[in-house]
Amino acid sequence: MRFFTATERDRLIANYVASGEALAKDSAIDHWPVVKLFTPYASATWLLTEFDPEENVAFGLCDLGLGEPELGYVSLTELAEGSESSQTFVERDRYWEADGPLSAYAGRARELRQIPDSSLTTGDCSPDPSP
């Protein structure tokens, strides 16, 4: 299962490499999310900034719909296996574009207790009213 395009994959890997280099210099980079994954029939969302192709894991803001979004790693192998073996399909939001760094999304998600559906810059980052 493919979760991102070749261009998105290249950007995610470049961010992963840049973060590794920054960490080696005792620094950090606040990347903008590259891709948004979600479950259309559940309430899980992932905003991914980095991808380690050797381990097949991505880093970003993860929200499993439990009211506790957090920064962390997600195994794309496990997402693919879960998506293939159950009704919890994981899809890429083809129309979503980030409009701020991951830290801004994380801060807003902590306030709302979920990743906001709308743009960070519009001021309307209310949660989706649907259950």
List pLDDT tens digits, range 18-37. Answer: 999 999 999 999 999 999 99
Q: For residue 19, is it left (φ>0), alpha (ψ between -120 and 50) or beta?
A: alpha
Q: How many residues does the chain have?
A: 131
pTM of the model: 0.85
Higher-confidence residue of 87 and 78: namely 78
User: DSSP letter string over 67-130?
Assistant: S--EEEEEEHHHHHHHHHHSS---EE-TT----S-HHHHHHHHHHHTS--SS-SSSS--PPPS-
Looking up tokens 């470049």 gives: 14
The conformation of residue 17, written as its DSSP 8-state character, comes to: H
List pLDDT tens digits, range 53-73. Answer: 999 999 999 999 899 999 999
